[in-house]
Amino acid sequence: MTEIIKKPAVEKKKSNKVGFIVAVLSVIIILQSVKIFLDHTEKQELNQINQKEQADHAETMQRLTEISTELDTRIRELEKLGGDIEELSNAKAEIEKELKDTRTRTRSTIKTLQGKVGGYEELLHSKDEEIEKLKSINDQLFTENNDLKTEQNQLARTIVELNQEQTELQSKIEVASRLIIENVSILAISSRGRERTSPFRSNQIYQLKVGFNIGNNDVAPIEGKEIMLRVLDPQGNVIFDVAKGSGTFFYEGKEEFYTAKQEILFDNSEQQLSYLYEKGTEYESGEYQVEVYTDDYRMGRGSFQVK
């Protein structure tokens, strides 16, 4: 009876020990599973954080690149408008430095960089307002400048027109003030003092006498005048002799010979002038021209025939 009672007690003790071991192993397994799960979860969270940080960093760097391009545009616009580009240039240099920095960014440095991005965006915004103001000022100045140029052009045209009118008026006055000769008389005086009218024989011309009066002209000023007489032979050559008072004068920019000259004070009294010229040699046959000049214009002309 005693042996039959002890055997179940031993078996029961063994069974309890096995149960304890199984329980402990189960707890260990559960704890290990929990640790594995937590480690996996933490790793996933870290991966997500890292991925987010990388995405934030990439997005921030991309925005910095865009801002750098926008700064270039604003700098060019401000330069054209005459604005101050120092602040934008400094910001551009800072961004270029950040873009060239290849070191690994932490969460805090990315936050700092994102803060800078915000500052650069505010700078762009403020410069956009400045650019708009400068454009408005430049537009106003451009309009005022155009108006001023228009006024200047109108004034210049007016001055040109006035000068043209003055020149035309002066030309008209000059033309109107030109003197003319009237009642031209050409005579041949023989060696005996006898006067003959054209046509002449060559042997009848000891002296050539040319007379005329200066026509009335109320526009012409009272002033001294040189009155040049030119006698041209049938070939158009001027008859002259320096020893007998001939010389040269300028007519239409060219130096010309004259046969005889008188200096008078024109007083608008229809003065009568007379020239005597002794050629000293015979006149060849043909038609001769007589011209009278003063002040670079011709006052009148006449002619005579020699048989």
Q: Provide the CATH number for the domain around residue 268.
A: 2.60.40
State the amino acid at position 70 in one-letter form.
Answer: E
* Predicted model pTM: 0.51
187 within some domain:
yes
Q: Please state, in angstroms and rounded to a whole number, the distance separating the CA atoms of residues 22 and 4.
A: 28
Closest CA to 300 of 230, 196, 250, 241: 230
162 within some domain:
no
**pLDDT, average across residues 30-38:** 77
- Do 199 and 123 have their domain in common? no
Task: List the domain range (segments joined by +) for residue 210.
Answer: 181-306
Q: Which residue has the higher pLDDT, 26 or 7?
A: 26
Number of compact structural domains in the chain: 2
Residue 1 pLDDT: 43
48 within some domain:
yes
Strand pairing report for 286-294 and 297-306: antiparallel
- Do 7 and 97 have their domain in common? yes
Res. 112: pLDDT tops 60: yes
- Do 235 and 301 have their domain in common? yes
CA-CA-CA-CA torsion sign (191, 197, 203, 208): positive
Q: Which residue has the higher pLDDT, 11 or 100?
A: 100
- Do 118 and 232 have their domain in common? no
291 within some domain:
yes
Q: Which residue has the higher pLDDT, 62 or 242?
A: 242
When mean pLDDT is compared across 2-6, 17-21, 197-201, 297-301, the lowest value belongs to 2-6
Res. 2: pLDDT tops 60: no
Residue 133 pLDDT: 86
